[in-house]
Amino acid sequence: MKSLIVANWKMNPKTYKEAKKLFDETKRLTGLLKGVSVVVCPPAVFLRSLAIGQRAGRISFGAQNVHFEAQGSYTGEISVAQVKDAKAAYAIIGHAERRAMGETNYDVRKKVDAALVGGLTPIMCIGEKERGHGAEHFELAREQLRVGLSEDAGKRLSKIIIAYEPVWAIGATKAMEPRQMHEMAIFIRKTLVERFGEAGHSIKILYGGSVDGKNAGDMLRNGDVTGLLVGRVSVDSQAFSELLRACAEA
């Protein structure tokens, strides 16, 4: 099975010229390596221009956010239909940085439903801000899954990707230990199976949070994940090259 690497460029780079250079290098690297597929999620202003003329293959496009309404008076937002028209196939939903700006579990629920109806694959992010010695992080993950996934979404779990990104690990010098991720992956599947049935066993799970070429392979081998959600490393061609090579070897 190929590892799915989601490159979340966030609000980078500054210009389209830089974005095109970064994308061309990402595409070149992806083409050289077997065993990996990459979803590039650039700032929305660059999305269409980068996607024009690109053939379907091991590199795809995604949006960093979508609105749940089809259209209307929502200044600064983008709809699922607009993202689809810009040739993207995925949408990151519920990222920790969006949640920090006020996005709720109920907003996530509506966005996931809208993405599914509109033909996008939602990459639904969950994760705790901090971790203590108790089981609070499991209860938070359960609540994010319970509210974020509607009954309709539960009927289409094969079309949904869950990205676990512990906020305390984002931007940190060290990623979460694979054994911790393995434990969380088991919990995510168990939670989904309890609610939606056997389909929960096959849910695709990504890990995100300070992942790089040094720890990516270990996470893929031992973290019980099918891929990675990559932030800052994805906008550094050299660092991203090292990560992709580690993933291909894993």
SS3 152: helix
Report whether 164 contacts 181 (CB < 8 A): yes
Report whether 245 contacts 30 (CB < 8 A): no
Catalytically annotated residue among 95, 103, 128, 137 = 95
Active site residue 95: yes
Report whether 9 contacts 18 (CB < 8 A): no
Catalytically annotated residue among 128, 151, 165, 183 = 165
Active site residue 165: yes
CA dist 27 to 24, 32, 50, 108, Å? Answer: 5, 9, 11, 30
Report whether 87 contacts 51 (CB < 8 A): yes
By annotation, the residues acting in catalysis are: 95, 165
